[in-house]
Structure 1
Amino acid sequence: MSSFVLQRLLSFFITLAVTSVVVFGILEWLPGNAAQVILGETATPESLAAMEEKLGLHQPALTRYVEWAGGLLQGQSGLSISYSTPTLELITERLQVTLPLAVLAMLITVGVAVSLGLYAASKHNTSADMGVMTLSQLGLAIPNFWLAILLILLFAVQLQWVSAGGFPGWTEEAGGGLLPALSALILPAVALAAVQTAILTRVTRSAVIESMGEDYVRTARAKGLTKQQVLWRHVLRNAMIPVVTIMGLQFGNLITSAIVIENVFVLPGIGRLIFQAIANRDLVVVRDVVMLLAAMVIAINFLIDILYAWIDPRLQDGVNT
């Protein structure tokens, strides 16, 4: 197990390093001068020179990359041009909204999708199975931003159960609290989870149906176990590999998809931050946020690899032999 983890850990750091080069290089090689883009066409040569020095553009690209990457490794970040605040502080503050939103959406996705997938598989080729598949097809067809608008119209405008947008904060001192904060996140989480739930339901159903046709299932049934006992004790764990794969990809997708949903619900998360940074031409914030999102996706994939080995130790054979 240790060699398996070490190999995945090495792959994680290599992927992270390559990603940092790509993120830095894309913003570095964009057409035009970053200082010119920030100040506009009417900027004077003196102001351009001052902005280039502030951004460090007077230094070679390699020097700037080493300083940026080294600063991130030490927990230091660049200074936002718009806010005159370290980007790490801005990102940490906004993650207090984005991460709980993504986690809540993931919990909804897993809870609903695994339950529906198991139910549909246990009722294979029946009207109940067809009903679940029809419902999942509907979920795939509805864009999450459009569903978000419908949810606002129904629950915020018509029923007035929740607010149409905004975030009160996690503390009572800020005018919010745990329950008000969760109430503000529930509709965005449902909007985020809808499409992912439909996908995971179909994957769970297919994986369970495939596992139910294996020899060990027939052997377990021959020993006297009921269908439900076989499903929960034997089938589910063996069907979890493709399900976990999709779950890992979905969590990364939920974090990035939150960028759109946060703007629909006016939530002060990472999505709002990057939109404001782009509007303000704050390339320092854009670079650090993009790197953060990429690093989170890479970290999630690393954790999924480790979870694979726990679910099915046979996956370590290629490393240990």
Structure 2
Amino acid sequence: MGALALLLRRLASLSLTLLVASALVFAALEWLPGNAAEVMLGESATPEAVTALTQKLGLDQPAATRYVQWVSGLLQGQPGISLSYDEPTFALLAERMQVTGPLALMAMVLTVIVALSLGVYAAARHGRLGDVAVMSAGQVGLALPNFWLAILLILLFAVKLQWVGAGGFPGWSEDDGGGLMAGLKALLLPALALACVQAAILARVTRSAVLEVMREDFVRTARAKGLSRRAVMWRHVLRNAMVPVLTVMGLQMANLLTGTIVVENVFVLPGVGRLVFQAISNRDLVLVRDVVMALVALVVLINFVVELLYLWLDPRLKRGRS
């Protein structure tokens, strides 16, 4: 019952967070200076066009009524219609997530592999040359802007070495000239550009967490029982150090999903980041509102999954809270 009660509390917290976020997203666009219809159509729009769009968007109704209608539509799977694409916003989002989702996942996989390996390596060699080298490399990684690294990667691997294309996405279907390998190849450089900074952050967090756990009594006991240093590190130390590491990983995954606007535009990828950029450029506030809310929901869901992983990694949290 304790675990079930905890789960129900987390679900209630998740629902409340989404409700508050929806109110903030709606209010932020509602409080834009001027009439929203005039903002979408531009200064050259005729009064007749502004009036027609005002009625189409329901802007002649009270804000509370429009908010309830918007949230009800989202809950029923009936999002708004994009003004610039004349398609349901969630259909556009689902299409673009076919690029952004794999890109964020690939970047996260690269981040985890590199960061955990380097973090554990640095902790195992605390105060020695390997530790200093990893921390110095991490400091450089933290200082590199994603867009600048993306440009360097294009210049090296696409322009000079010509191993990959400079941008664009061929698609996942072989009928369109793409395919699985072609798609992964097109996403490799953007994933590297995104993973560099995230790996630098996660490696430092991993090193600190591992060093803290290595000072615990159970680690010395495991060593006294004859377990090798490598076995103690990977079987006992790393799992107990994963709670703070998971926190950062959850934040990074959310950041990768929502923070790809610059990198996707550098590589001309038809993902969610580019969709948001185009929606803002086209003053498509309906699309901006629905996409931002969908991304907020994804971030909240990721945090919820991370909390469930906490309980799996450390049952003491479940017993303590119940």
User: Could you state the TM-score of these two structures normalised by the residue count of structure 1?
Assistant: 0.98
* Cα distance in 1, alignment partners of residues 297 and 90 from structure 2: 14
* Cα distance in 1, alignment partners of residues 173 and 261 from structure 2: 23
* Cα distance in 2, alignment partners of residues 229 and 83 from structure 1: 56
Indicate the RMSD between aligned Cα atoms, in angstroms: 0.9
The alpha-carbon deviation at position 318 of structure 1 amounts to 4.1
The amino acid that maps onto 1:111 is I
The amino acid that maps onto 1:50 is A
* Cα distance in 1, alignment partners of residues 36 and 294 from structure 2: 21
The alpha-carbon deviation at position 319 of structure 1 amounts to 3.1
* Cα distance in 2, alignment partners of residues 272 and 236 from structure 1: 37
The amino acid that maps onto 2:191 is A
* Cα distance in 2, alignment partners of residues 213 and 185 from structure 1: 41
- Structure 2 unmatched runs, 5+: none
Residue of 10, 15, 22 corresponding to 2:24: 22
The alpha-carbon deviation at position 259 of structure 1 amounts to 1.2
* Cα distance in 2, alignment partners of residues 316 and 98 from structure 1: 34
Mapping 1:36-47, distance limit 5 Å: 36-47=38-49
SS in 2 for 1:268: coil
- Structure 1 unmatched runs, 5+: none
State yes or no: 1:187 paired with 2:195.
no
The amino acid that maps onto 2:19 is A
- 2:111 paired residue number: 109
8 Å CA contact 1:169, 1:181 repeated in 2: yes
* Cα distance in 1, alignment partners of residues 119 and 130 from structure 2: 11
Mapping 1:2-13, distance limit 5 Å: 2-13=4-15
Per-residue CA deviation, residues 177-216 of structure 1 (Å, 9 max, x unaligned), is 0000000000000000000000000000111011001111
* Cα distance in 2, alignment partners of residues 195 and 167 from structure 1: 23
8 Å CA contact 1:169, 1:177 repeated in 2: yes
Mapping 1:88-167, distance limit 5 Å: 88-167=90-169
* Cα distance in 1, alignment partners of residues 246 and 192 from structure 2: 20
State yes or no: 1:57 paired with 2:50.
no
8 Å CA contact 1:3, 1:319 repeated in 2: no
- Which range is displaced more, 3-12 or 111-120? 3-12
- 1:275 paired residue number: 277
Residue of 191, 196, 199 corresponding to 2:198: 196
User: Could you state the TM-score of these two structures normalised by the residue count of structure 2?
Assistant: 0.98
Q: State percent identity of aligned pairs.
A: 65
SS in 2 for 1:198: helix
- 1:290 paired residue number: 292
* Cα distance in 2, alignment partners of residues 167 and 149 from structure 1: 17
The alpha-carbon deviation at position 29 of structure 1 amounts to 1.3
The amino acid that maps onto 2:16 is I
- 1:262 paired residue number: 264
How many residues matched?
320
* Cα distance in 1, alignment partners of residues 233 and 42 from structure 2: 63
